[in-house]
């Protein structure tokens, strides 16, 4: 195929960096956004069915829209940045609550809280939107998600439950606009799906005007269906055509005509998509509302309400009797687990992204880059003041209660005089055995390395200190009172500056 310059025709870069490098998660955003319908997601592959470079000298769309490119990240973040809370582990939000469907049938079918289904059903029944993008299953392949445009409550009910394989939901969003003529669409997807939709909005693509609300699911990763079926054929002698159902609980459960086969999660997770290994977003940080499990509570979901639009919609459903809520602070184990999962995913994703950059020379999408904007901003103007500190004599149990109430994952550690000693984080606290937590003090387990900056330094200097010391947070001191904490800065604060720019 005769090709024009790599940098001018986005497909050339998309093919090299995303598709051929194995980072495509088959969302179909490139297909929905392409102005000349040159792209089609088929099976587990994106096909370029027409050489767009013949007719175009320049087109940046598909690469920029792809959720796995570095483009448009900060602008995408700005859709949720106008919120009261910025949290290192969970992103921007207004409120976190526990919730469940009032309808017991929905709860039973979902095997979780059934909140997504109840919200969508409520929205369609009350004409808050005219359609919803959901993931049903292919009729002839019960393991394969089929992204579809739901227009009536029955469509929504038939999509209930999680499918742990890629779903082309952004492609279905494009069909809702072009083929179904829908103008008020609710969208459900995992974090990279939501990012693709936010990128369409950031690009001001015409189809993004039809988006009403985004519901993001928590996500640890998606498995490659073909690779997994090939594996169970070779290892367990199961013919793919005999697979009636694939389900994930603590194990991968495969139902065939001969009965059930249970495969350990460690074997299933070998088939996770390459993009998931460098992914840093667990809780769908860019969605209007994010929803995940509330383990160990059965039949409940954790709901993170991020935007005003999300809050209005969610509480309309609550007031009209579709959803029950409960206070998450009353269930400290739930919030602790969500924060640990988010933190672990972020740390692993950043580590793997660095490895990938070393090998390929290309940095897969992560959410912070140095920028001139940081050099122009004084620390005093952006640091958090009135900092909640933790005394070194506090026990680990007391500290975990504080985390459950305040939702922050790291706190400056201080001595009796209020002088900073280092940081104590959730990660260190949960590494202490449960039975030892009431008589172990945080002073015994905290990192005593003190990384500080002064109020009159710039945000860029703070960022450099964070990078050099491999930490996401530093303590800020005033030059005239260097033993007293004047404030703190986290990487989330720095990201906030960039989104505001």
Ligand X SMILES: Cc1cc2nc3c(=O)[nH]c(=O)nc-3n(C[C@H](O)[C@H](O)[C@H](O)COP(=O)(O)OP(=O)(O)OC[C@H]3O[C@@H](n4cnc5c(N)ncnc54)[C@H](O)[C@@H]3O)c2cc1C
Cβ of 370: how many Cβ atoms within 10 Å? 13
- Number of residues lying near ligand X (CB under 6 A): 31
**Among 50, 180, 220, 315, which residue sits at the site for ligand X (rule: CB under 6 A)?**
220
Q: Which of residues 386-425 bind ligand X (CB under 6 A)?
A: none
Find the shortest distance in angstroms from Cβ 160 to ligand X: 4
Find the shortest distance in angstroms from Cβ 358 to ligand X: 28
Q: Does 27 bind ligand X (CB under 6 A)?
A: no
User: What, of ligand SF4, ligand X, none, does residue 189 touch, CB below 5 to 8 Å by kind?
Assistant: ligand X
Nearer to ligand SF4, 25 or 395 (CB): 25
**Among 96, 172, 185, 190, which residue sits at the site for ligand X (rule: CB under 6 A)?**
190
Nearer to ligand SF4, 360 or 467 (CB): 360
Tell how strand 301-305 and strand 289-293 pair up.
antiparallel
In whole angstroms, what is the distance from residue 355 CA to residue 294 CA?
32
- Asked if 488 and 494 count as a contact pair (C-beta separation under 8 A), the reply is no
User: What, of ligand X, ligand SF4, none, does residue 128 touch, CB below 5 to 8 Å by kind?
Assistant: none
In whole angstroms, what is the distance from residue 112 CA to residue 210 CA?
29
Q: Does 208 bind ligand X (CB under 6 A)?
A: no
- Asked if 367 and 73 count as a contact pair (C-beta separation under 8 A), the reply is yes
* Interacting residues toward ligand SF4 by CB under 6 A: 9-11, 14, 18-19, 24-30, 34-36, 38-39, 41, 46, 52, 56, 59, 61-62, 65-68, 190-192, 196, 219, 221-222, 273, 275-276, 279, 281
Write the secondary structure of 195-249 as one string of H (helix), E (strand) and C (coil).
HHHHHHHHHCCHHHHHEEEEEEECCCCCECHHHHHHHHHHHHCCCHHHEEEEEEC
Residue 78 has what DSSP assignment?
T
Question: Omega of the bond prior to 471 within 30 degrees of 0, cis?
Answer: no
**Among 13, 74, 124, 169, which residue sits at the site for ligand X (rule: CB under 6 A)?**
169
Residue 17 has what DSSP assignment?
I
Find the shortest distance in angstroms from Cβ 365 to ligand SF4: 9
Nearer to ligand X, 53 or 214 (CB): 214
Residues 6+ apart with CB under 8 A from 82: 307, 308
Nearer to ligand X, 53 or 148 (CB): 148
> Residue-wise over 106-129: b if at least 16 C-beta within 10 A, else e?
bbebbebbbbbbbbbbbbbeeebb
Q: Is the dihedral of CA 336, 342, 343, 345 positive or negative?
A: positive
User: What, of ligand X, ligand SF4, none, does residue 332 touch, CB below 5 to 8 Å by kind?
Assistant: none
Q: Which of residues 254-313 bind ligand X (CB under 6 A)?
A: 291-293, 301
Find the shortest distance in angstroms from Cβ 47 to ligand SF4: 10
**Among 135, 290, 395, 499, which residue sits at the site for ligand X (rule: CB under 6 A)?**
135
Residue range at the interface with ligand X (CB under 6 A); choices 186-194, 264-272, 415-423, 451-459 = 186-194
Find the shortest distance in angstroms from Cβ 48 to ligand SF4: 6
**Among 53, 117, 208, 366, which residue sits at the site for ligand X (rule: CB under 6 A)?**
117
Nearer to ligand X, 293 or 425 (CB): 293
Instruction: Give the CA distances from residue 300 to residues 97, 161, 222, 290, 476, in Å, rounded to whole numbers and listed in that order.
Output: 10, 13, 22, 14, 40
Looking at the DSSP bridge assignments, the partners of residue 136 are: 146
Residue 435 has what DSSP assignment?
G
Find the shortest distance in angstroms from Cβ 355 to ligand SF4: 16
Q: Does 175 bind ligand X (CB under 6 A)?
A: no
Find the shortest distance in angstroms from Cβ 89 to ligand X: 14
In whole angstroms, what is the distance from residue 96 CA to residue 407 CA?
10
In whole angstroms, what is the distance from residue 368 CA to residue 302 CA?
27
Q: Does 129 bind ligand X (CB under 6 A)?
A: no
Which residues contact ligand X (rule: CB under 6 A)?
110, 112-117, 134-135, 145, 159-164, 167, 169, 188-190, 193, 217-220, 222, 291-293, 301
């Amino acid at each position: 195929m005769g090709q024009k310059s790599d940098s001018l025709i986005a497909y050339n870069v998309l093919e090299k960096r995303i598709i051929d490098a194995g980072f495509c998660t088959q969302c179909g955003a490139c297909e929905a956004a392409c102005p000349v319908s040159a792209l089609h997601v088929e099976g587990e592959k994106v096909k370029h069915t027409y050489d767009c470079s013949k007719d175009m000298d320049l087109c940046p769309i598909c690469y920029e829209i792809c959720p796995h490119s570095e483009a448009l990240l900060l602008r995408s973040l700005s859709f949720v940045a106008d919120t009261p809370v910025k949290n290192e582990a969970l992103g921007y939000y207004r409120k976190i609550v526990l919730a469940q469907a009032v309808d017991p049938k929905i709860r039973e079918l979902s095997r979780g809280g059934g909140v997504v289904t109840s919200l969508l059903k409520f929205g369609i029944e009350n004409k808050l939107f005219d359609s919803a993008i959901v993931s049903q299953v292919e009729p002839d392949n019960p393991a394969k998600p089929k992204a579809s445009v739901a227009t009536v409550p029955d469509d929504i009910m038939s999509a209930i439950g999680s499918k742990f394989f890629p779903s082309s939901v952004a492609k279905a969003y494009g069909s809702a606009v072009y083929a179904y003529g829908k103008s008020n669409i609710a969208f459900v997807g995992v974090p990279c799906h939501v990012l693709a939709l936010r990128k369409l909005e950031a690009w001001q693509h015409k189809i993004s005007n039809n988006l009403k609300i985004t519901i993001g699911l928590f996500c640890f990763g998606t498995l490659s269906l073909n690779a997994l079926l090939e594996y169970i054929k070779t290892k367990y002698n199961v013919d793919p055509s005999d697979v009636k159902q694939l389900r994930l609980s603590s194990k991968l459960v495969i139902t065939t005509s001969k009965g059930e086969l249970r495969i350990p999660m460690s074997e299933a997770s070998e088939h996770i998509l390459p993009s998931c290994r460098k992914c840093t977003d667990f809780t769908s940080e860019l969605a209007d509302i994010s929803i995940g499990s509330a383990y160990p509570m059965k039949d409940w979901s954790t709901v993170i309400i991020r935007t005003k639009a999300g809050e209005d919609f969610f509480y309309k459903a609550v007031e009209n009797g579709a959803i029950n809520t409960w206070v998450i602070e009353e269930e400290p184990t739930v919030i602790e687990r969500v924060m640990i999962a988010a933190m672990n995913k972020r740390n692993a994703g950043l580590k793997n992204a660095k490895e990938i950059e070393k090998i390929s020379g290309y940095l897969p999408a992560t959410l912070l880059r140095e920028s001139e904007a940081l050099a122009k901003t004084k620390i005093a103007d952006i640091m958090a003041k009135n900092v909640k500190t933790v005394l070194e004599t506090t026990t680990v149990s007391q500290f975990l209660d504080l985390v459950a109430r305040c939702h922050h994952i790291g706190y400056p550690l201080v001595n009796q005089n209020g002088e900073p000693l280092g940081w104590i984080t959730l990660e260190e606290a949960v590494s202490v055995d449960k039975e030892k937590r009431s008589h172990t003090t945080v002073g015994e387990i905290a990192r005593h390395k003190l990384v500080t900056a002064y109020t009159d330094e710039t945000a860029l200097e703070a960022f450099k200190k964070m990078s050099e010391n491999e930490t996401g947070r530093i303590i800020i001191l005033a030059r005239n009172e260097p033993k007293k904490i004047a404030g703190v800065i986290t990487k989330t604060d720095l990201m906030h500056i960039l989104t505001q720019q």
